C-alpha cells in the first residue's frame, strides 16, 4: 500500500446488495487504500478530482466471490497415479498460476482445504506480500486423516512407506497435528471424516476417525481460534462430525434429513460441490482418475445434488465450495447454475459465495458485501446475475484489495 491515499471511483454501475437482492442503479463506489469509503450517487461522494475514475455504467457490480473449497496446488489433469510424478515445488508453481486464474475469475477469497508441505501457506504469504497476484487465501495446511483414509496416500505398496503428512490416529495424535498446522501457518483445519471418491481403496459410506477423535480435533482447533472443515460423504460420518461441532461439512453427499436439521440447529454450514461430478464423469478418465473412483462418483454425484435440494428446502446454511483443482481452476463460477438448477434462487446462490462464506470464514466484518468499511473486493459483469446467474461464469471486472486485476467492461 502506497504512502499517499490511492483513490478510485467505480462510477455509475448497478450495485447489487447481496443481502436483499436490491439493485442500486447508477451508483458509484469510492475506494481509498483498499477499502470502500463511500457509496452512492457520484455527487454525494465528495470527490476532489484526484481520483482515478473507472466507468461502470450498465455493468452489474457485486462483492468479490469466494470459494470455501479449492485446492490451488492441484491440477485437473494430474489425477490418480499421475499425481505421484508431481513434486512439491512443481505443485507450488501450479499454485501460483492457479491463484491468478482464480482471482481473474472473480474469486477474491478462497479457502484452500489441504495442500502438501504447507504450500498453501506459502502461496498466501506471497500473495499478501504483493509478490504474486491471487485471492486472499485461507490455508488449511495439511489435511488430517486416519491411516489408509481419504487424506492418506494409498497408491503405493508398503515397501514405499508413503504416508501423507496429516495422518494421525488417536485423540492426542490429532491434537498434535492441529497444533502443528497452527504452528506452520494454517488458518483452518481440514480433516477427512469419511472415505472419498478420488482416493484409492476408501469407501464413501465409511466413517473415518471416531467420535472421540473428531471431538479432539474440533476442541483443539477451536481453542486455537481456527474453524474446522470436514470432508464427509457418508451419512454416519457426516452426523458424527456435526455432533462433534465442525463448522462446515464439505461434500455432504449422503446427508440425511436428521443431520440437515441438526446442522440447521447448530448453524453448521454445508459446502456442497454440486458441479464437479460433471467433470469427473465426462473428462475424469482422460485426466487419470481411477476406474474405482469413477464408479464411486456414479454412486454419489446425483445423490449429492438431491441432498443439496433437500438441504436448501430445509433452510440449512449453505456455503459455496467447488473443489476446483479436481477440475479446472477459474471455472469455479460454473457451479452457480447447478445450485439454481437444484433449488436455489440466483440470489441464494450468490449469497452462498458472498455473505454466507464470509460468515463461515469468520470474515463477515471485512468481506462479502459492498458496504462502507469493507475491503474493496469488487467484481462486475455485463448482465444482471439475478436474472441469469451464468453471468458469473465470465466475470468482466475484478478489483481485490482496491487493485484492479482485470477490466474487460465495454469490450
Ligand atoms: N475430493 C472429493 C472426493 O474425492 C471429490 C468428490 C467429488 N464428487 C462429488 N460428487 N462432489 O471425495
Is the per-residue pLDDT at 119 higher than 50? yes
269 and 383 inside one domain: no
* pLDDT at position 410: 79
- Same-domain status, 72 and 59: no
Q: Is there a single domain that holds both residue 351 and residue 378?
A: no
- Per-residue pLDDT at 3: 46
Q: Which atom in ligand 1 lies closest to the alpha carbon of residue 199?
A: 4
Confidence grade of residue 34 (pLDDT, cut at 50, 70, 90): very high
The whole-angstrom separation of Cα 32 and Cα 16 is 20
Residues 69/366/120/230 CA torsion (nearest 10 deg): -40
The reply to whether ligand 1 has any atom less than 6 angstroms from the CB of 326 is yes
> Does the Cβ of 297 fall within 6 Å of ligand 1?
yes
From the alpha carbon of 300, which atom of ligand 1 is closest?
Answer: 10
For the cut 60, the answer to whether the pLDDT of residue 123 exceeds it is: yes
Question: Do both 164 and 150 map to the same domain?
Answer: yes
CB 16 within 8 A of CB 61: yes
> What is the 297 CA–ligand 1 centroid distance (Å)?
7
Find, among 67, 74, 63, the residue nearest to 109 by Cα: 67
Same domain for 45 and 88, yes or no, is no
Tell me the CA–centroid distance for residue 73 and ligand 1, in Å. 17
Identify whether residues 131 and 277 lie together within a single domain.
Answer: yes
Counting from 1 in the atom list of ligand 1, the atom nearest the Cα of 251 is 11
**Predicted TM-score (pTM) above 0.90:** yes
Domain around 376: 7-64+369-407
Please work out whether the CB of residue 204 comes within 6 Å of at least one atom of ligand 1: no
| Rg of the chain on CA atoms, in Å | 21
| Residue 393 near ligand 1, beta carbon < 6 Å | no
User: Separation of 196 CA from ligand 1 center, angstroms?
Assistant: 6
- Ligand 1 close to Cβ of residue 221 (< 6 A): no
The mean pLDDT value of the chain amounts to 97
Q: How many domains does the chain have?
A: 2
pLDDT in tens, 362-373: 999 999 999 999
What is the spatial distance between Cα 202 and Cα 375, in angstroms, rounded to a whole number? Answer: 42
Instruction: Please indicate whether residue 102, judged by its CB atom, sits closer than 6 Å to ligand 1.
Output: no
Of 360, 377, 393, the last residue of a domain is 360
For residue 291, count CB atoms less than 10 angstroms from its CB and return exposed for 0-12, middle for 13-18, buried for 19 or more. exposed
CATH of the domain at 47: 2.30.40.10
Could you tell me if the CB of 198 is within 6 A of ligand 1? Answer: yes
Nearest atom in ligand 1 to the alpha carbon of residue 233 is 12
Span from the CA of 167 to the centroid of ligand 1 (angstroms): 20
How far is ligand 1, taken at its centre, from the CA of residue 233, in Å?
8
Please answer whether residues 265 and 315 qualify as being in contact, where contact means their C-beta atoms are separated by less than 8 angstroms: no
**Residue 109, C-alpha cell as written in the block:** 477469497
Judge contact between 402 and 108, C-beta under 8 A.
no
Whether residues 116 and 191 fall in one domain: yes
Residue 299 has pLDDT above 90, yes or no: yes
pLDDT per residue over 396-408, tens digit each?
A: 999 999 999 999 9
Ligand 1 geometric centre to CA of 45 (Å): 47
Domain membership of residue 2 (yes or no) is no
Q: Which residue bears the cell 496416500?
A: 153
Together in a domain, 50 and 74: no
Quick one: 141 and 42 in the same domain? no
Could you tell me the pLDDT band of residue 229, with boundaries at 50, 70 and 90? very high
pLDDT value for 235:
98
- Three-class secondary structure assignment of the chain: CCCCCCEEEEEEEEEECCCCCCEEEEEEEEEECCEEEEEECHHHHCCCCCCEEEECCCCEEEECEEEEEECCCCCCCCCHHHHHHCCHHHHHHHHHHHHHHHHHCCEEEEEECCCHHHHHHHHHHHHHCCCCCCCEEEECCCCEECCCCCCCCCCCCHHHCCCCCCECCCHHHHHHHHHHHHHCCCCEEEEECECCCCCCCCCCCCECCCHHHHHHHHHHHHHCCCEEEEEECCHHHHHHHHHHCCCEEEECCCCCHHHHHHHHHHCCEEECCCCHHHHHHHHCCCCCCCHHHHHHHHHHHHHHHHHHHHHHHHCCCECCCCCECCECCCCHHHHHHHHHHCCCCHHHHHHHHHHHHHHHCCCCCCCCCCCCCCECCEEEECCCCCCCHHHHHCCCEEEECCEEEEECCCC
pLDDT of res. 395: 98
**Residue 278 phi/psi, 5° resolution?**
-65, -40
Within a domain: residue 1? no
* Cβ atoms of 170 and 136 closer than 8 Å: no
Say if 32 falls within a structural domain. yes
CB 196 near ligand 1, within 6 Å: yes
Decide: 232 in ligand 1 pocket, CB within 6 A: no
Q: Give the pLDDT confidence score for residue 407 in this predicted structure.
A: 97
- In this model, does residue 126 exceed pLDDT 80? yes
Q: Is any ligand 1 atom within 6 A of the Cβ of residue 301?
A: yes
What's the pLDDT tens digit per position in 237-287?
999 999 999 999 999 999 999 999 999 999 999 999 999 999 999 999 999
Residue 269: how many CA atoms within 13 Å on its side-chain side?
27
Same domain? 201 vs 283:
yes
Same domain, 95 and 47: no
Name the residue at shortest CA distance from atom 6 of ligand 1. 197
Q: What's the CATH code of the domain at 225?
A: 3.20.20.140
Q: Is the CB of 296 under 6 A from ligand 1?
A: no
Residues 268 and 355 in one domain: yes
Query: 113 pLDDT exceeds 60?
Result: yes
User: Which residue among 113, 254, 271, 326 has the greatest number of ligand 1 atoms within 8 angstroms of its CB, and so is best to mutate?
Assistant: 326
Amino acid at each position: 500500500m502506497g504512502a499517499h491515499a490511492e483513490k478510485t471511483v467505480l462510477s455509475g454501475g448497478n450495485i447489487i446488495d447481496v443481502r436483499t437482492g436490491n439493485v442500486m442503479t447508477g451508483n458509484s463506489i469510492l475506494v481509498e487504500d483498499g477499502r470502500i469509503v463511500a457509496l452512492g450517487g457520484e455527487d454525494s461522494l465528495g470527490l476532489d478530482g484526484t481520483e482515478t475514475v473507472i466507468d461502470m455504467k450498465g455493468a452489474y457490480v457485486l462483492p468479490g466471490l469466494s470459494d470455501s473449497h479449492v485446492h490451488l496446488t492441484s491440477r485437473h489433469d494430474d489425477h490418480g497415479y499421475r499425481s505421484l510424478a508431481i513434486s512439491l515445488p512443481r505443485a507450488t508453481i501450479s499454485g501460483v498460476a492457479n491463484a491468478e486464474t482464480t482471482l481473474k475469475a472473480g474469486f477474491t477469497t478462497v479457502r484452500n482445504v489441504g495442500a502438501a508441505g504447507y504450500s498453501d501457506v506459502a502461496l498466501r504469504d506471497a500473495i499478501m506480500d504483493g509478490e504474486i497476484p491471487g485471492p486472499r487465501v485461507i490455508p488449511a495446511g495439511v489435511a488430517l486423516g486416519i491411516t489408509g483414509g481419504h487424506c492418506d496416500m494409498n497408491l503405493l505398496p508398503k515397501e514405499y512407506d508413503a504416508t501423507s503428512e496429516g495422518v494421525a490416529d488417536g485423540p492426542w495424535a490429532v491434537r498434535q497435528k492441529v497444533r502443528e498446522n497452527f504452528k506452520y501457518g494454517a488458518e483452518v483445519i481440514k480433516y477427512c471424516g469419511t472415505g472419498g471418491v478420488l482416493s484409492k481403496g476408501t469407501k464413501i459410506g465409511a466413517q473415518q476417525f471416531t467420535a472421540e477423535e473428531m471431538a479432539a480435533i474440533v476442541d483443539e482447533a477451536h481453542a486455537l481460534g481456527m474453524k474446522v472443515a470436514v470432508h464427509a460423504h457418508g451419512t454416519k460420518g457426516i452426523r458424527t462430525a456435526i455432533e462433534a461441532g465442525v463448522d462446515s461439512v464439505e461434500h455432504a453427499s449422503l446427508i440425511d434429513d436428521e443431520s440437515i436439521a441438526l446442522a440447521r440447529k447448530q448453524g453448521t454450514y454445508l459446502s456442497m460441490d454440486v458441479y464437479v461430478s460433471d467433470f469427473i464423469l465426462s473428462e475424469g478418465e482422460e485426466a487419470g482418475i481411477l476406474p474405482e473412483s469413477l464408479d464411486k462418483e456414479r454412486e454419489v454425484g446425483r445423490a449429492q445434488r438431491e441432498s443439496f435440494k433437500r438441504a436448501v428446502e430445509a433452510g440449512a446454511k449453505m456455503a459455496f465450495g467447488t473443489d476446483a483443482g479436481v477440475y479446472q481452476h477459474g471455472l469455479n463460477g460454473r457451479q452457480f447454475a447447478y445450485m439454481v438448477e437444484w433449488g436455489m434462487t440466483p440470489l441464494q446462490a450468490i449469497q452462498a459465495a458472498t455473505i454466507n462464506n464470509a460468515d463461515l470464514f469468520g470474515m463477515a466484518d471485512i468481506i462479502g458485501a459492498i458496504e462502507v468499511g469493507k475491503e474493496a473486493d469488487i467484481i462486475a459483469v455485463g448482465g444482471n446475475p439475478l436474472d441469469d446467474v451464468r453471468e458469473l461464469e465470465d466475470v468482466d471486472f475484478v478489483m481485490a484489495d482496491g487493485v484492479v486485476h482485470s477490466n474487460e467492461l465495454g469490450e
